[in-house]
Amino acid sequence: MRKPLLFVMLSLVLILSACGSGVQGSTGGTLFKDGIAEYIQTTYMLQDVVSSQEGSAEISEIYIAENQSIETLASDLQNYEKPREISEKKDNKQVLVYDNLFVILTNDPDNPENTMVEVSDYEFVRNHYNPSFFDGLLVLWVLDEILDVDDWGKKQRQKCSNNNDNCYGGYGSSGGLFKTPGSSSTVRGGTSSVRGGGPGTGK
């Protein structure tokens, strides 16, 4: 009697584990799970994911907010969760800085009626963004403080001047293409038109 009972119990455990995995997978694949990131992930369509060869944790996710202006979208995001820093809008760009995340709003170059929402972790911004992207949006001393690097802007500008291909200029201008230092290959994610899809969708 013990063997059949043990078999039944093992079967139940396996079934429950499979069910649990299915539920987890259905919630979307974004690596950003909390607060404003979760709101963006469940509200807007994932367009692309850009990741660094230096570390899989350094990623930037790009979403599309259809038929929404930067102003409307910025107001909506601020109403959901107050940012740590809010930039002015300039050159069709605006930046909201949250704990551990930059939310960057830009016009969709393919459709001016839409706004692109880029969610980048601090590591991705610190290691890959060209400081010139933030000119007129956030002053360098604020970025130094947020990114916890003395003279981040000066150091990063030097790196970019040595090889501009190593610096990321935002998804709208680069399409997610850039090189990581010491690499000959170009880095970017794939594309996804599935709402709530995750980083694995397009890599």
Q: Return the half-sphere exposure (C-beta side, CA atoms, 13 A cut-off) of residue 140.
A: 13
Q: DSSP character for 136? A: T
Ordered per-residue pLDDT tens for the chain, 203 residues: 455 554 444 454 444 444 433 322 223 445 566 689 999 999 999 999 887 766 556 788 999 999 999 999 999 999 999 999 999 999 999 999 999 899 999 999 889 999 999 999 999 999 889 999 999 999 989 999 999 999 999 999 998 888 767 788 888 766 666 655 544 444 444 433 333 433 333 33
Distance CA 36, CA 78 (A): 9
Token pair recorded at residue 203: 């890599």
Distance CA 82, CA 9 (A): 49
pTM: 0.73
Contact yes or no for 191/199 (Cβ under 8 A) = no
Distance CA 100, CA 38 (A): 13
